[in-house]
Homo-oligomer: A and B are copies of this chain.
Amino acid sequence: MDLELLSELSVPNHTKILLLVIDGLGGVPNESGRSELEQADIQHLDRLAQESMCGLTVPVAPGVTPGSGPGHLALFGYDPLRYTVGRGVLEALGIDFDLQPQDLAARGNFCTVDNAGRITDRRAGRIATDRTVPLCEMLRTIGLPGVQVFVEPVRDHRFLLVLRGEGLSDRLTETDPQREGVTPLPVRATAPEAEPTAKLLNEFVSQAAKLLASHEPANMLTLRGLAKRPPMPSMPEACKLRAAAIAAYPMYRGLAKLVGMTVLPTGATFADELQTLKEHWQEFDFFFIHFKKADAAGEDGDFQAKMRALEEVDGSIDDLHALQPEVMMVAGDHSTPAVVAGHSWHPVPFLLHARKFVRLDDTEGFNERACAHGTLGTFPAKEALSLAMAHAGRLTKFGA
């Protein structure tokens, strides 16, 4: 169901819902014929699956490989095809930048241009972050009429540009021509109301070009993913619950903040996250806790490392279970099979453990093959929250 309907049907309760997101959870068999989950020693997850309802989630649509944004938004109850978050906004979230609703954010890339202004290296030789920092400080000196300018280093040749002011629009084209040998493009408005914003951005680029001229290889920049925060209903309001997010990585904190969750300060490791969860257990009704390593190992194409990451998170399952939430979900935002060495479109193992009203299936373990036969079937990830809400006694009847 969509969040509007959820908002209509949700009722307050004292029950707790815990959502563990294992980033990049799903896998694909390697030459052995078995996937990371099938080969890893994940006895706690396997046992939990036997006491749960299992299935596979489709993050966006069959065949669609999701980025981190849509993958998480779906698990937070949003239709990821309806609520799209621009790259500029994700970049801001990724560095914990406190993006305001009126802000316009862009992902910036330093690049190299020749004497004729043609791009010779779209990534400025991937200069190190410590070279990007002073360049960003320099660009902050650029003044634009009526708006505040923020320029923040991200990593390597990447930075974040934010304009803050009234009436900014994101109906704009990008300046990166996506190839070398040509000059960067001007920003163009794709709607009349964006003309003033396009003018401001082109003025920024023009002043930046002068400031950067002597800083080869970073003697120019491009702007991509010009975007404002999309208007989104608040997940905690729609669900009538207090929701907290615990994530060591800023991107996931940012996504949680975007949907209205309270982001709890935590440390850099999953053990820190668990500690934070325990400390705040009494204060919230819904907890999103994020485990990153499985995705990182999958991205690296490291089958063994992904198995070890899964075994690490498996070691925390009993701790999570011991908190006795009325509903506990173990989910992934998408698959990151080591054999793909990247995100993929494959449906993602999912389990929902509830104290009451459960139809157990015969699932013997927590993996792709077993979950495919689970009682929940293969279903859109955006429906997971509704199921959890139902099992937590937080939804009333639809229609008389």
> Is A60 part of the contact surface with B, judged by Cβ < 8 Å?
yes
Complex formed: what's the CA distance from A304 to B34 in Å? 40
> Is A52 part of the contact surface with B, judged by Cβ < 8 Å?
no
> Is A147 part of the contact surface with B, judged by Cβ < 8 Å?
no
Complex formed: what's the CA distance from A388 to B388 in Å? 32
Find out whether the CB atom of B64 lies under 8 angstroms from the CB atom of A400.
Answer: no
Nearest chain-B residue to A60 (Cβ)?
A: B398
From B9, B64, B346, A359 is in contact (CB under 8 Å) with B346
Find out whether the CB atom of B372 lies under 8 angstroms from the CB atom of A361.
Answer: yes
> Is A69 part of the contact surface with B, judged by Cβ < 8 Å?
yes
Find out whether the CB atom of A368 lies under 8 angstroms from the CB atom of B372.
Answer: no
Give the residues in chain B near A357, CB-CB below 8 Å.
Answer: 28, 337, 339-340, 344, 346
> Is A345 part of the contact surface with B, judged by Cβ < 8 Å?
yes
> Is A85 part of the contact surface with B, judged by Cβ < 8 Å?
yes
Find out whether the CB atom of A61 lies under 8 angstroms from the CB atom of B361.
Answer: no
Complex formed: what's the CA distance from A9 to B67 in Å? 12
> Is A14 part of the contact surface with B, judged by Cβ < 8 Å?
no
Complex formed: what's the CA distance from A344 to B390 in Å? 9
From B359, B376, B386, A28 is in contact (CB under 8 Å) with B359
Find out whether the CB atom of A399 lies under 8 angstroms from the CB atom of B85.
Answer: yes
Most chain B Cβ neighbours within 10 Å, of A62, A68, A80, A386:
A62
> Is A264 part of the contact surface with B, judged by Cβ < 8 Å?
no
Find out whether the CB atom of B80 lies under 8 angstroms from the CB atom of A387.
Answer: no
> Is A225 part of the contact surface with B, judged by Cβ < 8 Å?
yes
Give the residues in chain B near A80, CB-CB below 8 Å.
Answer: 398-399
From B70, B361, B386, A399 is in contact (CB under 8 Å) with B70
Give residues 46-78 of A contacting B (CB, 8 Å).
56, 60-70
Number of this chain's copies in the complex: 2
Give the residues in chain B near A64, CB-CB below 8 Å.
Answer: 1, 5, 9, 386, 390, 395, 398
Give the residues in chain B near A315, CB-CB below 8 Å.
Answer: none
Nearest chain-B residue to A67 (Cβ)?
A: B399
Given A29-B360, A33-B360, A63-B1, A400 contacting B69 (CB threshold 8 A): yes
Give residues 367-388 of A contacting B (CB, 8 Å).
368-369, 372-373, 375-379, 383, 385-388
Given A395-B345, A399-B84, A400-B225, A28 contacting B63 (CB threshold 8 A): no
Give the residues in chain B near A361, CB-CB below 8 Å.
Answer: 369, 372
Complex formed: what's the CA distance from A372 to B363 in Å? 12
Complex formed: what's the CA distance from A360 to B68 in Å? 26
Find out whether the CB atom of A372 lies under 8 angstroms from the CB atom of B375.
Answer: yes
Give the residues in chain B near A379, CB-CB below 8 Å.
Answer: 62, 378
Give the residues in chain B near A373, CB-CB below 8 Å.
Answer: 373
Complex formed: what's the CA distance from A356 to B29 in Å? 10
Given A61-B1, A344-B357, A345-B390, A377 contacting B383 (CB threshold 8 A): no
Give A258 Cβ to nearest chain B Cβ, in Å.
13
Complex formed: what's the CA distance from A169 to B362 in Å? 52
> What are 25 A-B interface contacts by the 8 Å CB criterion?
A1-B62, A1-B63, A35-B359, A60-B398, A61-B383, A63-B387, A65-B390, A65-B397, A66-B397, A67-B397, A68-B399, A70-B399, A85-B399, A225-B400, A339-B356, A339-B357, A340-B357, A343-B397, A346-B357, A359-B368, A361-B369, A369-B375, A373-B373, A376-B378, A378-B379
6 A-B pairs with the lowest CB-CB distances in the bound complex, closest first? A63-B386, A67-B399, A63-B390, A62-B383, A70-B399, A1-B61
